[in-house]
């Protein structure tokens, strides 16, 4: 059995390179054999080739994932009988890509037989029959000449886009039994490559998708589990007590409880939970729980609606939000625009997202290098013909001729400040509604992505507001929604109809 050959190869040829186990033979743990190696190497097709061409392992930090990946890389290079084997360690950056490779290189150097029979360089290991093991990264990558037999993809969650992944996987087509071995902790960006792979792995694992070539290996704590419970830690840390100690996790958990800013990193990195946002606002799961699709969205034609318009910059995202108050709940929908010229020059991570959203109809793209406000004006006027617009809230410090044009068309425009005095009530009101299940969001990936980007800043008085400067990416749809909800709250509290004859500022 190939799995037994793998076990013997690790025990007889490889040694630990770090920590208290340094210098000792690498003896696989039962979970590594049972969950990864046996199914991966012993599940074969009738012709003897491997059935699983892709293996996705998601696991908490310090569980020996890089060491296992290094062993797989060397076994694929030396023991699979692949002519001219080409093994790649891939990651988002050079340093990350080098982590797995460096462990493998040190293991080779520590073994007299391997070191004598392999040529070892800083970033390359070569065999005498033309096999090669080297690193590639997203920040220094060329697909030219690649004919990959095995790709080791480390920490997939840090990948900014899927371009490297797609290039590498398509470079394996000529091989008889290629292997794409991916290993990662969880992340926070639910528009990322890693989350798409995580979601796909979950569906395969649950039998919702049939893919006989994909091996899902997911170690993680359930989202509704008590992250402070040591019993929960075991679900994401099969190497607990071996390479990761209970004391270490207990200390990290204690720090997360004492410092709320550490809760999300602890749950993400050590419990493999996809908790969104690097900020300490509300987790994206709260928004997802309030999402509805077209089939659940009520008929709202002719109903009163409050709107928000975040014009931001003409060279980037502009968003329009609408809020209806029906039967005690606030129904929220957003639309966003971006100029095509900017899409071409943006960093690749957002270009990929924006392209996908344009295809799905979740993002409007205007021609040229700046947002075409005439298209937004036409959209708002068409919208106003279908609903009873009570107010359109906008950033009074960042208004434009578009606001004046909308006012001239008879639409009530209301300037709202973006400082703590105006935005703190908006933030707190939003939180209260979300936590009390009084919000419903029309499902929109652009809004969710923006919400996951929000970072709050606070003043000495404890007031908070979203910070466009501190937020890791665009938050315009959220700002538009906050302004719309704030104006709706104000009017509903005052019993106002919102019949404005001129620009109003609050």
Residue showing tokens 């696991």 = 59
DSSP string, 236-260: H-TTBTTTB-HHHHHHHHHHHHHSG
Structure tokens of 500?
């404005």
Superfamily (CATH H level) for 2-218: P-loop containing nucleotide triphosphate hydrolases (3.40.50.300)
Query: How far, in Å, CA of 386 to CA of 333, rounded?
Result: 15
Output the tens digit of pLDDT for each of the chain's 506 residues.
899 999 999 999 999 988 778 889 999 999 999 999 999 999 999 999 999 999 999 999 989 888 999 999 999 999 998 889 999 998 877 888 888 999 999 999 999 999 999 999 888 999 998 999 999 887 656 655 688 999 999 888 888 778 888 888 888 888 999 999 999 998 877 778 899 999 999 999 999 999 999 999 999 999 888 999 999 999 999 999 898 899 999 999 998 887 665 787 889 889 999 876 544 577 788 899 999 999 999 999 989 999 999 986 666 789 999 999 998 999 999 999 988 877 666 645 565 678 889 889 999 998 888 888 899 999 999 999 999 999 999 987 766 788 999 999 999 999 988 888 888 889 989 988 998 999 999 999 999 999 988 888 776 566 788 888 767 688 999 999 999 999 999 999 877 444 433 334 44
What pTM was estimated for this model as a whole?
0.63
Distances (CA, A) of 436 to 169, 203, 282: 45, 31, 13
Domain with CATH 3.30.420.240 in the chain: 285-505
Half-sphere exposure of residue 84, counting CA atoms within 13 Å on the CB side?
A: 8
Helix runs in 124-277, H state only: 163-170, 193-205, 230-236, 246-258, 263-271
The first and second tokens of residue 493, run together, are 């509290």
Residue 163's CB is within 10 A of a number of other CB atoms, namely 17
Tokens found for residue 117: 């029979």
Cα end-to-end span (Å), the chain: 74
- Does domain 285-505 fall under CATH 3.30.420.240? My reply is yes
Q: Kindly report, as residue ranges, where domains of CATH 3.40.50.300 are found in the chain.
A: 2-218
């Amino acid at each position: 059995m190939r799995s037994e050959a793998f076990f013997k190869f690790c025990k007889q040829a490889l040694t630990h390179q770090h920590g208290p186990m340094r210098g000792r033979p690498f003896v696989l743990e039962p979970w590594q054999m049972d969950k990864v190696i046996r199914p991966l190497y012993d599940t074969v097709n009738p012709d003897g080739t491997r059935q699983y061409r892709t293996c996705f392992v998601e696991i908490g930090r310090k569980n020996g994932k890089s060491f296992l990946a290094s062993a797989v890389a060397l076994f694929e290079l030396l023991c699979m009988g692949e002519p001219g084997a080409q093994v790649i360690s891939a990651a988002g950056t050079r340093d990350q890509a080098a982590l797995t490779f460096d462990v493998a290189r040190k293991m080779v150097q520590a073994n007299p037989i391997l070191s004598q029979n392999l040529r070892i360089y800083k970033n390359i290991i070569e065999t005498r029959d033309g096999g090669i093991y080297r690193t590639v990264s997203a920040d220094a990558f060329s697909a030219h000449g690649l004919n990959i037999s095995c790709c080791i993809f480390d920490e997939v969650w840090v990948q900014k886009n899927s371009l490297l992944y797609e290039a590498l996987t398509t470079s394996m087509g000529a091989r008889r039994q290629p292997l794409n071995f991916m290993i990662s902790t969880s992340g926070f960006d639910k528009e990322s490559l890693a989350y798409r792979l995580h979601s796909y792995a979950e569906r395969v694992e649950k039998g919702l998708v049939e893919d006989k070539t994909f091996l899902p290996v997911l170690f993680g704590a359930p989202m509704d589990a008590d992250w402070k419970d040591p019993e929960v830690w075991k679900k994401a840390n099969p190497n607990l007590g071996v390479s990761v100690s209970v004391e270490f996790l207990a200390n990290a958990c204690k720090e997360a409880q004492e410092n709320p800013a550490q809760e999300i990193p602890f749950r993400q990195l050590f419990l493999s939970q996809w908790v969104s946002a690097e900020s300490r606002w509300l987790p994206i799961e709260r928004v997802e729980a309030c999402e509805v699709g077209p089939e659940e969205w009520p008929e709202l034609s002719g109903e009163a609606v409050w709107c928000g318009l975040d014009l931001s910059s003409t060279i980037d995202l502009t968003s329009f939000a609408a809020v209806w108050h029906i039967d005690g709940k606030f129904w929220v929908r957003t639309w966003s625009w971006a100029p095509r010229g900017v899409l071409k020059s943006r960093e690749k991570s957002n270009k990929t997202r924006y392209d996908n959203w344009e295809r799905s109809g979740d993002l409007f793209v205007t021609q040229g290098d700046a947002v075409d406000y005439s298209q937004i004006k036409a959209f708002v006027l068409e919208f106003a013909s279908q609903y009873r617009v009570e107010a359109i809230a906008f950033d009074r410090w960042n208004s434009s001729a578009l606001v004046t044009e909308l006012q001239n068309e008879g639409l009530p425009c209301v300037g709202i400040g973006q400082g703590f005095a105006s935005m703190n009530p908006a933030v707190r009101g939003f939180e209260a509604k979300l936590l009390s299940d009084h919000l419903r969001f029309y499902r929109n990936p652009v809004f969710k992505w923006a919400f996951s980007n929000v970072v709050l800043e606070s003043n000495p008085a404890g007031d908070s507001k979203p910070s466009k400067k501190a937020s890791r990416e665009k938050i315009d749809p959220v700002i538009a929604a906050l302004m719309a909800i704030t104006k709706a709250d104000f009017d509903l509290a005052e019993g106002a109809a919102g019949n404005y004859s001129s620009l109003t500022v609050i």
